[in-house]
């Protein structure tokens, strides 16, 4: 296999560092899209970019700032980044997230790695695009711009930053008012650049065997062959992007129905999206409800075949009867999936 090159990512990072200014002698109505090479994963399918929101450098730069700006949440206490921080593998380190106005949410923050490649967003896959997801996060408990109970609406939250960001929005979208639709487009464009190109896993898959330790390589072998974790955590991204019931939270008196509540299909009861395992050593506590503290316990649970319940996906998940040493190897493999986050904190206008 060919070795990976990082040329494309390099240009994306350069774009994010903001050292180049956008050459904008655009016509009055439309800003000229500046050539922008989104980071790509070599050897992987191309990211699907929505036709009505092509990636441009100006949009990514704007989205980068908005993603880190707390002023856009209802009580101005949370930025998107607040719950998707690099030290925690782009999650928040809590079992279940706490939103603006200290709202207690019911699910754990998932990682943002390679989110532009995920066709159905959220643990239950209810959101079909990043642009729609942004508006959902804004109006929901995360950002608290509910537009009722004395909370501002999404329009009002976005209006707060219209003045300081006027120039950035014009560079990205041309003259006109700052709208929540453009706000969502900018954030969507930025999130498509959160790609895990700087990871030992990608180097290993690209043919550089030395990228993983011997123990981690042994762990991968067990992960893929004996334990068949790859039935679901498959391929370069370590996910099939499908929904499976592995038994988490099913013992509750009113379990989270997960995908079942969206598809209305009984067999999806308690099924959740297979998460990528990139950066998983930092992203605990684990699972959609944060019910498992350590990676060791998570591997124990999964390699024992998940938690028994009526809807358990026994086709793909069977007890693997791993020895203690084999489990340790799998944990070593998972710990080698760390990713370097090279996106800097932006200066906010």
* The two three-digit tokens of residue 84, written as one number: 């998707």
Asked if 180 is part of the footprint of ligand HEC (rule: CB under 6 A), the reply reads: no
Residue ranges in 271-290 that form contacts with ligand HEC under rule CB under 6 A? 272, 274-275, 277, 280, 283, 286-288
| Residue 330 binds ligand HEC, judged by CB under 6 A | yes
Instruction: Compute the distance between CA of residue 123 and CA of residue 89 in angstroms, rounded to an integer.
Output: 17
Q: Positive or negative CA dihedral for 199, 203, 209, 211?
A: negative
**Cβ 111 to ligand HEC, closest distance in Å?**
7
Q: How many CB atoms lie within 10 A of CB 97?
A: 23
Does the footprint of ligand HEC cover residue 305 (CB under 6 A)?
no
Q: Which long-range contacts (CB under 8 A, 24 or more apart) does 182-185 make?
A: 183/66, 183/72, 183/134, 183/158, 184/130, 184/131, 184/132, 184/134, 184/135, 185/53, 185/59, 185/131
Q: Closest separation between CB of residue 23 and ligand HEC, Å?
A: 28
Nearest CA among 271, 273, 250 for reference residue 261? 271
Q: Using the minimum distance from each CB to ligand HEC, give the nearer residue, 11 or 221.
A: 221
Q: CB of residue 26 vs ligand HEC: minimum separation in angstroms? A: 27
Q: Is 194 in the site for ligand HEC (CB under 6 A)?
A: no
Report the alpha-carbon distance of residue 257 to residue 48 in Å, rounded. 29
Q: Tell me the site size for ligand HEC, rule CB under 6 A.
A: 54
Q: Specify the residue for token string 């124990």.
A: 300
- The count of C-alpha atoms lying within 13 angstroms of the C-alpha of 16, restricted to the half-sphere facing its C-beta, is 26
The answer to whether 102 and 205 have CB atoms below 8 angstroms apart is no
Instruction: Name the one range near ligand HEC by CB under 6 A: 15-23, 38-46, 51-59, 268-276.
Output: 268-276
84 within 8 A of 90, measured Cβ to Cβ: yes
Beta carbon nearer to ligand HEC, 9 or 133: 133
Going residue by residue from 218 to 237, which x/- string records binding to ligand HEC, judged by CB under 6 A?
-----x---x-x-xxx----
Q: How far is the CB of 144 from ligand HEC (least distance, A)?
A: 9
Residue owning tokens 């379990």: 255
Q: Does 248 sit near ligand HEC (CB under 6 A)?
A: yes
User: Two tokens at 237?
Assistant: 């991204």
Any idea what the Cα angle at residue 95 is, between residues 99 and 280, rounded to 5°? Answer: 110
Taking the complex as a whole, how short is the minimal distance between the CB of residue 186 and ligand HEC, in angstroms?
A: 10
Cβ atoms of 174 and 26 closer than 8 Å: yes
Q: In whole angstroms, how close is the CB of 2 to ligand HEC at the nearest point?
A: 28
Cβ atoms 80, 137 nearer than 8 A: yes
Q: How far apart are CA 143 and CA 125, in angstroms?
A: 19
151/99 Cα distance (integer angstroms): 13
CA 285/CA 94 separation, integer angstroms? 7
For residue 303, state whether it binds ligand HEC (rule: CB under 6 A).
yes
Interface segment toward ligand HEC; rule CB under 6 A; list 2-10, 164-172, 296-304, 340-348: 296-304
Residue from 4, 41, 134, 337 binding ligand HEC (CB under 6 A) = 134
Residue 105 in the binding site for ligand HEC (CB under 6 A): yes
| Closest approach of ligand HEC to the CB of residue 19, in Å | 25
Give residues in contact with ligand HEC (CB under 6 A): 78, 80, 82-84, 92, 97-99, 105, 107, 109-110, 115, 118, 121-123, 130, 133-134, 137-138, 142-143, 187, 191, 223, 227, 229, 231-233, 244, 246, 248, 272, 274-275, 277, 280, 283, 286-288, 298-299, 302-303, 313, 316-317, 320, 330
């Amino acid at each position: 296999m060919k070795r990976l090159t990082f040329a494309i990512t390099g240009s994306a990072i350069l774009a994010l560092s903001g050292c180049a200014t956008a050459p904008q002698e655009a016509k009055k109505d439309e800003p000229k899209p500046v050539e922008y090479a989104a980071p790509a994963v070599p050897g992987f399918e191309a990211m699907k970019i929505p036709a009505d929101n092509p990636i441009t450098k100006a949009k990514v730069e704007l989205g980068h700032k908005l993603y880190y700006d707390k002023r856009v949440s209802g009580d101005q206490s949370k930025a998107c980044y607040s719950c998707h921080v690099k030290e925690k593998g782009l999650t928040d380190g809590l079992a279940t997230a706490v939103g603006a106005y200290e709202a207690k949410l019911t699910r754990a923050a998932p990682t943002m790695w390679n989110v532009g490649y995920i066709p159905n967003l959220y643990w239950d896959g209810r959101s079909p695009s990043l642009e729609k997801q942004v508006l959902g996060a804004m109006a929901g408990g995360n950002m608290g711009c509910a537009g009722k109970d004395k909370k501002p609406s999404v329009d009002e939250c976005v209006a707060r930053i219209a003045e300081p960001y006027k120039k950035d929005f014009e560079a990205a979208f041309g003259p006109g008012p700052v709208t929540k639709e453009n706000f969502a487009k900018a954030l969507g464009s930025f999130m498509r650049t959160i790609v895990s190109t700087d990871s030992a896993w990608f180097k290993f898959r690209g043919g550089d065997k030395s990228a993983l330790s011997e123990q981690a390589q042994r762990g991968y072998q067990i992960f893929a062959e004996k334990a068949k974790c790859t039935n679901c955590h498959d391929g370069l991204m370590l996910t099939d992007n499908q929904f499976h019931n592995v038994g988490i939270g099913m013992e509750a008196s009113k379990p989270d129905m997960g995908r079942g509540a969206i598809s209305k299909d009984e067999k999806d009861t308690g099924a959740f999206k297979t998460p990528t395992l990139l950066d998983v050593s930092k992203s605990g506590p684990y699972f959609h409800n944060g019910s498992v503290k350590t990676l060791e316990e998570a591997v124990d649970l999964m390699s024992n075949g998940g938690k028994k319940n009526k809807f358990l996906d026994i086709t793909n998940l069977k007890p693997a009867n791993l020895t203690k040493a084999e489990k340790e190897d799998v944990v070593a493999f998972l710990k080698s999936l760390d990713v370097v986050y090279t996106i800097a904190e932006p200066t906010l206008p």
